[in-house]
Amino acid sequence: MPLLFSYGSLQQDSVQLSTLGRRLAGRRDELPGFEPSLVRIEDPLVATSGRTHHANVTFNGKDDSRVAGMAFEVTDAELDRVDEYEAGFSYRRVVAVLASGRQAWVYVHAGARDTWLRVTHIGGPTALLELGGLRFLTDPTFDPAGTAYPTPVYTLHKTAGPALPAAAVEPLDAVLLSHDHHFDNLDHAGRAMLARARTVLTTPAGAARLGNGAVGLAPWQTVAVPGPGGRAVRVTATPARHGPADGDRGPVTGFVLSPDEHPERCVYVSGDTVWYEGVAEVARRFPIRVACLFMGAARVREVGPQHLTLTAAEGVEAARAFAEAIIVPLHYEGWAHFSEGPGDVDAAFAGAHLKHRLRLLPPGGTAEFPG
């Protein structure tokens, strides 16, 4: 069942009974990176809680700033009813990681500072990034579960379909395609949707194969994707190594996204890479605030025993290098050739005492990053 973190009136028995018809069982916890405040409310909502002001939280990103509350297990239907209750107070629901390391829904005030980034995990390497008024999609994979992809050397097997259909994420301002030559990064349905995107950014070799206006970027090359109001998001290609030095399955590119309105808040999309000096250089060059890391420790027996994408341990190493970043893992589920899953990632970050910086989104899950 989903977890719901309450720092306010939902901790009251009277509110639980009137909203859900039962008393909730929960555990004490804390919400890192937020600070408390109050918001004034009006009748008739005062009658429900008996209060004229309700608790509110604002994101500040500070690890030592915490809001105390309770984490309750609720059903999906109960979560819908709480949505109706909280909507009266102009709250909106976002995903957060609690001090205990558990992931929970939490309500923040709709009038709080604008969300500068929203990340929705579609499945596998595919995520929708909403940034600077633009919509970016990473490595499109929309084929159904059970699809097999034979090649002359090996066959890849897809074990989970997308959480959302392609139509639900369109229109797209840009596709960030780390590489076009592996089916787990660009499957049949994903390839078909490229023509509908305003821009496709990828490697020079990939752009040559794709044609149709795809733009190839060499490492450290930057292009501007124009957005509303004359502003743009600048996209810089970054180095990636898809396996060991003597067995690179590339070429692959990563990306750094830098919005004109907040150049100090960069987003990194690693693409299929292992941890090596090229990734470390990204950390030195850019103020990364959110890092979307392709993990799963992919291994394909026919090409050798080495891992081809980040292991959980390498993800921890990357988190230490990107010291100010929230880590959003991608590409760790949905394909048979992954040797590590979300449990391995969660355990590695917990063991490194970095779980408060991890946003491990299930397919279909969304994380919002308030300004």
The answer, yes or no, to whether residue 150 has pLDDT greater than 70, is: yes
Q: Per residue in 317-366, pLDDT tens?
A: 999 999 999 999 999 999 999 999 999 999 999 999 999 899 999 888 88
Phi, psi of 122 (to 5 degrees): -85, -35
**pLDDT at site 153:** 93
Domains of the chain, first to last: 3-109 (3.10.490.10), 115-370 (3.60.15.10)
Q: How far apart are CA 72 and CA 152, in angstroms?
A: 51
DSSP characters over 172-200: -SEEE-S-SSSTTTS-HHHHHHGGGSS-E
Taking residues 161-172, report their average pLDDT. Answer: 92
Q: Residue 53 — pLDDT band, cuts 50, 70, 90?
A: low
Give the residue with greater pLDDT, 219 vs 366: 219
**pLDDT at site 115:** 80
Q: Per residue in 98-131, pLDDT tens?
A: 888 787 888 876 654 568 899 999 999 999 999 9
**pLDDT at site 43:** 44
Closest to 235 in 3D by CA, of 356, 131, 79, 342? 131
The answer, yes or no, to whether residue 40 has pLDDT greater than 70, is: no
Whether pTM exceeds 0.85: no
Residue 10 carries which DSSP code? Answer: G
Pull the structure tokens for residue 68: 């105390």
The answer, yes or no, to whether residue 14 has pLDDT greater than 70, is: yes
Give the residue with greater pLDDT, 209 vs 261: 209
**pLDDT at site 303:** 87
**Which range scores top for mean pLDDT: 81-85, 88-92, 93-97, 157-161?**
157-161
**Proportion of the chain above pLDDT 90, given as a percent:** 70
Residues ≥6 apart with Cβ < 8 Å to 43? none
Phi, psi of 255 (to 5 degrees): -145, 145
Q: How far apart are CA 229 and CA 215, in angstroms?
A: 24
Phi, psi of 330 (to 5 degrees): -130, 165
The answer, yes or no, to whether residue 2 has pLDDT greater than 90, is: no
Closest to 322 in 3D by CA, of 365, 347, 292, 366? 292
Q: Residue 82 — pLDDT band, cuts 50, 70, 90?
A: confident
Q: Per residue in 281-296, pLDDT tens?
A: 999 999 999 999 999 9
Both ends of the chain: CA-CA distance in Å?
30
Taking residues 72-100, report their average pLDDT. Answer: 80
**pLDDT at site 35:** 80
Compute the mean pLDDT over every residue in the chain, rounded to the nearest whole number: 89
Across 241-254, b (16+ Cβ under 10 Å) vs e yields bbbeeeebbbbbbb
**pLDDT at site 98:** 85
**Proportion of the chain above pLDDT 70, given as a percent:** 91
Closest to 282 in 3D by CA, of 261, 312, 299, 258? 258
Other CB atoms within 10 A of residue 80 CB: 10
Pull the structure tokens for residue 178: 């780390």
The answer, yes or no, to whether residue 44 has pLDDT greater than 60, is: no
Pull the structure tokens for residue 145: 């579960």
Q: Per residue in 181-198, pLDDT tens?
A: 999 999 999 999 999 999
Whether the link from the prior residue into 363 is cis, omega within 30° of 0, is: no
Taking residues 71-80, report their average pLDDT. Answer: 90
Bridge-based pairing state of the strands 232-238 and 254-259: antiparallel
Residues ≥6 apart with Cβ < 8 Å to 362? 121, 163
